[in-house]
Amino acid sequence: MKLALFSHHAARRGLDWSRLPFWNAVIDHMRKAMALPPDGEPFPLDRAISPQTPIASVVRPIEALLRRNGFEWDELRKILALRAEFFEIDTRFGELGPRLSASRTPFSGCV
């Protein structure tokens, strides 16, 4: 049920949920290259892809991959911005508790 909720929310924001695993792998790879913890503070995308990037040897091949597959950094910017919304949805979903059925949740129309 949560997957459907997140997918629906992403679609309403113009994002294809099926592309998130690719972008998550990109973020993980770049976080490691920048010696950042896997989660926590927001990912500094603009710093990572700037002309003065500290990880140029990592970013340039990723940029080539993006171009070949029709991806753009702007899509990742949208995803990073939506992470806070996804967290909020997950928090609210958790507050509903495990005993509530889908038909009794405020998200029932999303499933």
Instruction: Tokens for 19, please give them.
Output: 């592309």
If you ran DSSP here, which 8-state letter would residue 38 be given?
A: S
Answer with the residue of higher pLDDT: 34 or 103.
34
Mean confidence (pLDDT) of the chain: 84
Under the banding of pLDDT at 50, 70 and 90, the label for residue 109 is very low
What residues does each domain of the chain span? 2-99
Residues 6+ apart with CB under 8 A from 1: 102, 107, 111
Q: Alpha-carbon distance 30 to 53, whole Å?
A: 11
3-state SS assignment for residue 13: coil
Under the banding of pLDDT at 50, 70 and 90, the label for residue 99 is low
Q: Alpha-carbon distance 63 to 65, whole Å?
A: 5
Q: Which of 37-41, 72-76, 99-103 has the highest mean pLDDT?
A: 72-76
Q: What's the one-letter identity of residue 73? A: W
